[in-house]
Amino acid sequence: MEANEHSTYLGLPNIIGRNKSAILGYLKDNVNMRIRSWDGIFISRAGKEILVKQVAQALPVYAMNVFLLPQEITTSIEKCLMKYWWSSGQTNNSKVIWMNWDRLSKHKSTGGMGFRNFRDFNIVMLGKQLWRLATNTQSLVSRLYKARYFDKTDVIHAGLGHNPSFI
């Protein structure tokens, strides 16, 4: 069976084209749909904090483990979460944003709420994959990537190459 351009494997798209924002935009849509399902329900600030941290911020984690998400997607997810955080519950029209996301994403001990900065977290997740490639040199994935992308050096000193994969 041949995969078409809209097929997925383990929830991730099989085919990645040039417009990564369009292909990975489903992550933004998933977070928006989940947050919209919470609209109109009166939830305390502590409840909102748990929903944002444990549910909404966990939705794109698997994709962030594989892809470097475009800045446009991470920014729009953060904006959606910020609007939900500052909404008053029943009336979703009037929102006053008292702090920006950069300040909310700081640790609680430094005056923030401890929310996740998606761009930084995405880079950390990809760094974790880099660490696996560097330390598990005999794994099948490491040997495959070494043969394809950095056969004359190690993964840390590898360049971008002439035809890199988005993954």
pLDDT digits (tens, 9 = 90+) for 128-151: 988 998 899 899 988 988 888 888
pLDDT of residue 119: 94
* Amino acid identity at 27: L
For residue 132, the tally of other CB atoms under 10 A from its CB is 13
Angle at 43 between CA 40 and CA 48, to 5 degrees: 110
- In 74-106, which positions are buried (b, 16+ CB within 10 angstroms) versus exposed (e)? bebbbebbbebbebeeeeeeeeeeeeebeebbe
Mean pLDDT of the region 119-135? 92
The reported pTM is 0.79
Bridge partners of 13?
8
Three-state DSSP at 33 gives: helix
Selected residue with higher pLDDT from 17 and 62:
62
DSSP 9: E
- 19 pLDDT exceeds 80? no
CB contact at 8 A, 86 and 96: yes
Residue 12, helix vs strand vs coil: strand
Average pLDDT over residues 78-107: 78
Q: Render 125-155 in DSSP notation, one character per residue.
A: HHHHHHHHHHH-TTSHHHHHHHHHH-TTS-S
In order of 17, 38, 66, 77, 135, the CA distances from 125 in angstroms are: 22, 28, 8, 17, 16
